[in-house]
Structure 1
């Protein structure tokens, strides 16, 4: 696959919606307060990137060991994205965390808020469509954005307010559902091929 800027921007926007750093600002603020008012932002971003990049390059090998092809995983990923978008719009919790506060700010923010199950599913699903270089570029762009969000929590808290944050979250929920439908349609042929054998 050839690298194109358009593909990298498409990947970046999709990950932007999935990671939903804007929608997670209330959680970030709450965790920051529980951590004494300070977050080790660089370490959080480092671990988030480590998880996503490791899954980008090793995810396919893991799937092969399990006997699952990338397109099948992409279809499953599209379903996860749809449910995640539904969660963002409706406010009903679909994906539940373990709620363990003893692990500190790195674990709840780096994983699962930034590099969570939906993000990792999206990354491996992209490999059926895009090149690894394009996906890597999209990951790096989102890590930079997440860093900017985490270092600007006080500003966001003052400027957006609860209503603004909620509106942004619902908007990206709709976008995410549309992306999920598109991804499902582009990869569902794997089942059609198996039925026609």
Structure 2
């Protein structure tokens, strides 16, 4: 087993999901909930997002085959998507690729925010889904998928823990601290985007590989 690959996947997913960057959003969406309700929302949103990513892990390859999309093409497209999200994060923003202004207004009037918009698209957003599919394409054995599934479970636990401590962490980190973490995560995501695009372009145009 190549543990370095699984560690890279976990770090990449942690950077993409960026639960610390979601703290203000989580607090805002659960501001009218009691402590018990907020804890339940944190648990259910984290679990639901993990389930979504597990489904993508199992069915991602089939979806690409169904639409006759090559791995290289998806890597380039995924790299472009990640780069847009990363640019937004480098500016300390949540990113319109994860939630539009209209979706934010709609969420403010929803009774339950557990599945939408918390689990999808804020946690298990397009960038996270793309990353899961790309890694699955390169590491598609049963053992690989099992390890990637464990990494997704760990990501869900980390997200749950961050959300449980949301008020305390938000006060401790402050706006500056959250923005700093978001920018660092954005830098990691940008590097990952470049890596995806480079591999995809080499696959589409073998001459680029020398």
TM-score, length of structure 2 as denominator length: 0.84
Determine the structure 2 residue equivalent to 1:118: 127
Structure 1 residues 72-98: Cα deviation after superposition (integer angstroms, max 9, x where no partner) = 212211111111100101256442432
The within-5 A match list for 1:48-67 is 48-67=49-68
Matched, 1:72 2:85: no
Q: 1:105 aligns with which of 96, 100, 113?
A: 113
Residue correspondence of structure 1 range 140-159 to structure 2 within 5 A: 140-159=153-172
Q: Secondary structure at the match of 2:205?
A: helix
Structure 1 residues 26-65: aligned runs within 5 Å: 26-36=24-34, 38-39=37-38, 40=40, 41-65=42-66
In the alignment of these two chains, the number of paired residues is 193
RMSD: 2.0
Normalized against structure 1, the TM-score is what?
Answer: 0.89
Determine if contact 2:92/2:180 at 8 Å carries over to the other structure. no
- Secondary structure at 2:137 match in 1: coil
What's the counterpart of residue 190 of structure 1?
Answer: 203
CA distance in 2, matches of 1:151, 1:94: 25
Q: Note if contact 2:15-2:189 (Cα within 8 Å) is conserved in structure 1.
A: yes
Q: Distance in 2 between matches of 1:11 and 1:127?
A: 10
Distance change >3 Å, CA 34–CA 87, structure 1 → 2 = farther
- Using the alignment, how far apart are the partners of 1:104 and 1:171 within structure 2? 31
Structure 1 stretches of 4+ moved >6 Å: none
CA distance in 1, matches of 2:170, 2:86: 23
Q: Does 1:171 align with 2:184?
A: yes
Which ranges in structure 2 are unaligned for 5 or more consecutive residues?
Answer: none
Q: Secondary structure at the match of 1:160?
A: helix
State the alpha-carbon separation in 2 of the partners of residues 29 and 94 from structure 1.
19
Q: Which moved more, 1:90-99 or 1:148-157?
A: 90-99
